[in-house]
């Protein structure tokens, strides 16, 4: 025989999520865009380290962020006011409006040097992201 359910206790219960908790620490890296320049124009990431890449456009004009090869064939989350564009390989470009910001959360999957640039006419903006091997990871 079961005791009747106390609804007052049920109403005050805290819901439990079914998704696994994501307790991985996140590295936050910000690229500021101002005066048609990426700042910094060179940065380092680590394979396997959850990363939040924050793109902030402080200019009064539209800019683009094209990361060559960095964000292909990996899972990511894009949020903010930018307009992400995808190809069959993954994220290929983000258009950043005036005073806009876009956050890209991902985990770099392989080491290498990855250029990024703005491809809008007259914008000669370039940078490099170097992803280093994580020495603490076992191959």
Backbone angles phi, psi at 11, to 5 degrees: -65, -30
**pLDDT at residue 136, as a whole number:** 73
Task: Give residues with Cβ within 8 angstroms of 10, minimum separation 6.
Answer: none
Nearest-Å Rg of the Cα atoms of the chain is 20
Q: What pTM was estimated for this model as a whole? A: 0.80
Query: Measured in whole angstroms, how far is the alpha carbon of residue 139 from the centre of its chain?
Result: 25
**How confident is the prediction along the chain (139 residues), in pLDDT tens digits per residue?**
545 545 444 444 444 433 334 556 999 999 999 999 999 999 999 999 999 999 999 999 999 999 999 999 999 999 999 999 999 999 999 999 999 999 999 999 999 999 999 999 999 999 999 999 988 766 5
**pLDDT at residue 138, as a whole number:** 60
- Half-sphere exposure (Cβ direction) of 62: Cα atoms closer than 13 Å: 10
**pLDDT at residue 120, as a whole number:** 97
């Amino acid at each position: 025989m079961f005791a009747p359910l106390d609804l007052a206790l049920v109403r005050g219960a805290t819901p439990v999520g079914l998704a696994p908790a994501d307790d991985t620490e996140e590295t936050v890296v910000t690229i500021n865009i101002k005066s048609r320049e990426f700042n910094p124009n060179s940065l380092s990431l680590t394979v396997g380290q959850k990363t939040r890449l924050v793109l902030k456009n402080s200019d009064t004009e539209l800019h683009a962020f094209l990361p060559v090869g960095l964000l292909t064939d990996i899972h990511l989350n894009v949020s903010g006011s930018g307009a992400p564009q995808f190809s069959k390989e993954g994220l290929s470009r983000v258009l950043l409006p005036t005073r806009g910001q876009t956050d890209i959360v991902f985990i770099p999957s392989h080491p290498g040097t990855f250029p990024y640039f703005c491809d809008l006419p007259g914008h000669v903006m370039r940078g490099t992201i170097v992803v280093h091997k994580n020495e603490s990871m076992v191959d």
